């Protein structure tokens, strides 16, 4: 097997233009930092706790099992096609050109929105370290200031833009160092909380009075609170999206995906469980406000120790933002070199010195800040942005797992070379796992999009935000595709391999899927 075939580039007819220097830990770190144990658990704890109480924690293993099914499907694809813009290219192979493009469009716009949502977490932590970080808004550090969050978040976006523009090596080093610190801190937080528990696990087996007055009772409240867990465990495909910059990617990327989601589930789950068991007062209204989990850490741990861990949370938010930015750049680059985005030639240009797409790094940074500024006066900005981003990512994932299921039923997947080459494959478990992944994706997307004031706030424009925003984003994209894009999509000559086959012909799993 040739080196080109082993990296997956030959299957698409692209020439290698990115810096292949990412090792095993850096690949794992990319997936972990996008999921970000400390960012996700600390950012959404208040939402789960405030809507369903301690028993909301049962959503953690449920979300894990559903997302694990998706991750296992992605591991097979990463073993065959570890390539930039993984979700976009996988959907294109398994479905058709339109399915691939729409999946990529959803993933790209969702990543930009996700980045805007992630950076807002910085205001829940930085002012608790030093009041001088509360530049705008209320002086009450126990509450979040939307305007200050936008300001701090915009500064953070500017920093990640510069880092990503200077090459994947710098990004990988900073990201790996940040993830190393985050993992150690996360484990220590879980251990220290475990040694300070004040109650037994019975709190997880009672509604504790939550759900009263909510449509559907406690189940309705639980479904709302599940957003807190659903927000954390996604983005594991980032390890494969960096496949063109990873050494031995067909072996490295699948393993990195699995390790990332397992580490997040175990360590993040331990923090949440022990935090609830160690909280001095579960009736404290601050636990249902942004920064609730940070407050438990400060209450339980000795002053300076608690502050050290808050610093680690800031680091986690930083590397999470960096990873989301990096993933968005790769999917932009992947679509642009297929001329599948406006100004494709410019967006696909790789800097000759840094070997990274600089224009996408700056463009994505500007767009994410613009989203923050537009929504600066929205009191529900954080949950709204989070929900919309997650739903779009679930849609993008469904446009991979759905067509993959069709190819399995047609017996076109998995390719024989996976088993023969010793690469990861689900074997006979592929069909049931794939079915679970599709059913899970549909169910969770509907749950997250359902119009509820507890999630989206009051006012029809907020309550129906998921349908409105995603409808506008999807509609605008499809309008461009059918009026302009579909006539021009095809590998740019500047990125085509000299001996390239037509992408649709060479990319078919074992036999050409319908519509390609």
Are the C-beta atoms of 409 and 453 separated by less than 8 Å?
A: no
- H or E, element range at 49: helix 37-52
pLDDT at 142 (0 to 100): 65
pLDDT at 354 (0 to 100): 73
Instruction: Give the CATH superfamily of 23-487.
Output: Amino acid/polyamine transporter I (1.20.1740.10)
Look up tokens 């692209």; give the residue: 14
Structure tokens at 261: 């989601």
Are the C-beta atoms of 489 and 101 separated by less than 8 Å?
A: yes
pLDDT at 288 (0 to 100): 85
Nearest 10 degrees: Cα torsion 289, 293, 295, 297: 180
- 8-state DSSP, 132: G
pLDDT at 343 (0 to 100): 81
Residues in the chain: 516
496 beta partners: 14
Are the C-beta atoms of 85 and 334 separated by less than 8 Å?
A: yes
pTM of the model: 0.88
Query: ∠343-346-352 over CA atoms, to 5°?
Result: 170
Can you tell me the distance from the alpha carbon of 188 to that of 314, in angstroms, rounded to the nearest whole number? 16
pLDDT at 9 (0 to 100): 65
> For the chain, which ranges sit under pLDDT 50?
1-6, 500-516
pLDDT at 382 (0 to 100): 63
Can you tell me the distance from the alpha carbon of 148 to that of 105, in angstroms, rounded to the nearest whole number? 30
Report the half-sphere exposure of 180 (CA within 13 A, side-chain side): 8
pLDDT at 504 (0 to 100): 39
Domains of the chain, residue spans: 23-487
Classify 215 in phi/psi space as left (phi over 0), alpha (psi -120 to 50) or beta.
beta
pLDDT at 5 (0 to 100): 44
């Amino acid at each position: 097997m040739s080196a080109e075939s082993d990296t997956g580039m030959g299957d698409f007819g692209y020439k290698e233009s990115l810096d292949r220097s990412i090792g095993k830990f850096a690949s794992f770190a990319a997936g972990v930092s996008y999921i970000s144990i400390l960012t996700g658990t600390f950012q959404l704890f208040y939402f789960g706790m405030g809507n369903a109480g301690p028993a909301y924690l049962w959503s953690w293993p449920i979300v894990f099992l559903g997302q694990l099914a998706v991750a296992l499907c992605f591991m097979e694809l990463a073993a065959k096609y570890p390539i930039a813009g993984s979700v976009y290219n996988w959907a294109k192979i398994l479905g058709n050109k339109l399915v691939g493009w729409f999946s990529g469009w959803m993933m790209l716009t969702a990543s930009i929105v996700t980045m805007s949502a992630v950076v807002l977490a910085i205001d829940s932590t930085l002012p608790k370290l030093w009041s001088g970080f509360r530049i705008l808004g209320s002086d009450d550090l126990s509450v979040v200031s939307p305007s200050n969050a936008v300001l701090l978040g915009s500064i953070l976006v500017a920093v990640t833009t510069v880092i990503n523009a200077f090459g994947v090596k710098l990004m990988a080093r900073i990201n790996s160092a940040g993830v190393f610190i985050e993992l150690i801190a996360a484990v220590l937080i879980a251990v220290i909380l475990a040694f300070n528990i004040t109650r037994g696990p019975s709190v997880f087996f009672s509604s504790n009075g939550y759900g009263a007055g909510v449509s559907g009772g406690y189940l309705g409240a639980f479904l709302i609170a599940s957003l807190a867990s659903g927000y954390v465990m996604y983005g594991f495909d980032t390890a494969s999206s960096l496949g063109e910059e990873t050494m031995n990617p067909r072996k490295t990327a699948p393993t990195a995906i699995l390790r990332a989601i397992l580490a997040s589930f175990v360590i993040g789950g331990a923090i949440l469980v022990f935090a609830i068991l160690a909280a001095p007062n579960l009736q404290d209204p601050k636990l249902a406000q942004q920064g609730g989990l940070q407050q438990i850490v400060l209450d339980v741990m000795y002053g300076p120790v608690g502050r050290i861990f808050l610093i680690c949370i800031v680091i986690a938010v930083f590397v999470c933002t960096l990873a989301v930015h990096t993933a968005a750049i790769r999917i932009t680059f992947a679509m642009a070199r297929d001329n599948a985005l406006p100004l494709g030639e410019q967006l696909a240009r790789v800097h000759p010195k840094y070997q990274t797409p600089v224009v996408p790094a700056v463009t994505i940074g500007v767009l994410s800040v613009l989203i923050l500024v537009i929504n600066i006066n929205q009191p529900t900005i954080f949950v709204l942005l989070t929900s919309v981003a997650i739903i779009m990512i679930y849609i993008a994932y469904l446009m991979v797992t759905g067509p993959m299921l069709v190819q399995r039923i047609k017996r076109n997947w998995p390719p024989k070379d996976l088993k023969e080459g010793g690469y990861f494959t689900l074997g006979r478990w592929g069909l049931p796992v794939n079915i679970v992944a599709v059913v899970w994706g549909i169910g969770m997307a509907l749950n997250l999009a359902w119009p509820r004031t507890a999630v989206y706030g009051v006012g029809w424009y907020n309550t129906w935000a998921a349908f409105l925003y995603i409808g506008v984003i999807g509609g605008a994209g499809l309008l461009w595709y059918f009026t302009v894009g579909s006539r021009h999509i095809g590998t740019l000559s500047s990125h085509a391999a000299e001996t390239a086959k037509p992408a649709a012909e060479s990319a078919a799993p074992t036999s050409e899927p319908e519509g390609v």
